[in-house]
Amino acid sequence: MIKNEHLPHNITENRIDITFCGKGKCKCPAISMDINKDKIILGGDDEGYTEFTKEEFKLFVDEVKNGTFDKLMG
């Protein structure tokens, strides 16, 4: 279910928690989603948190899938 299995994660039927640790970064943002909650939380203690509604997050994901940000990813 998860593409990058080496990332710290906890996935259950009702919840997904993934920590994005990459290339030795000491600040590791995370995503937390729960089927029973209206908000999706991105972030971490060091960098702060951002909350999205599920509708807002779906709009973001759709743009990522569309390739909108590909030219900026290098």
Please check whether residue 2 lies inside any domain of the structure.
Answer: no
Predicted confidence at residue 60, as pLDDT, reads: 94
Give the Cα separation of 57 and 51 in Å (integer).
9
Predicted confidence at residue 25, as pLDDT, reads: 56
Nearest in space to 7 (alpha carbons), one of 23, 48, 15: 23
Instruction: Give the total residue count for the chain.
Output: 74
Predicted confidence at residue 67, as pLDDT, reads: 93
Please check whether residue 3 lies inside any domain of the structure.
Answer: no
Is 70 exceeded by the pLDDT of residue 2? yes
Q: What mean pLDDT comes out for the span 15-35?
A: 81
Please check whether residue 62 lies inside any domain of the structure.
Answer: yes
Name the domain count of the chain. 1
Please check whether residue 4 lies inside any domain of the structure.
Answer: no
Radius of gyration of the chain (CA): 13
pTM of the model: 0.76
Domain region containing 51: 9-73
DSSP strands (E only) in 1-74: 9-11, 15-19, 30-34, 39-44, 48-53
High-pLDDT (> 70) share of the chain, %: 92
Predicted confidence at residue 42, as pLDDT, reads: 93
Give the residue carrying structure tokens 């994660």. 9
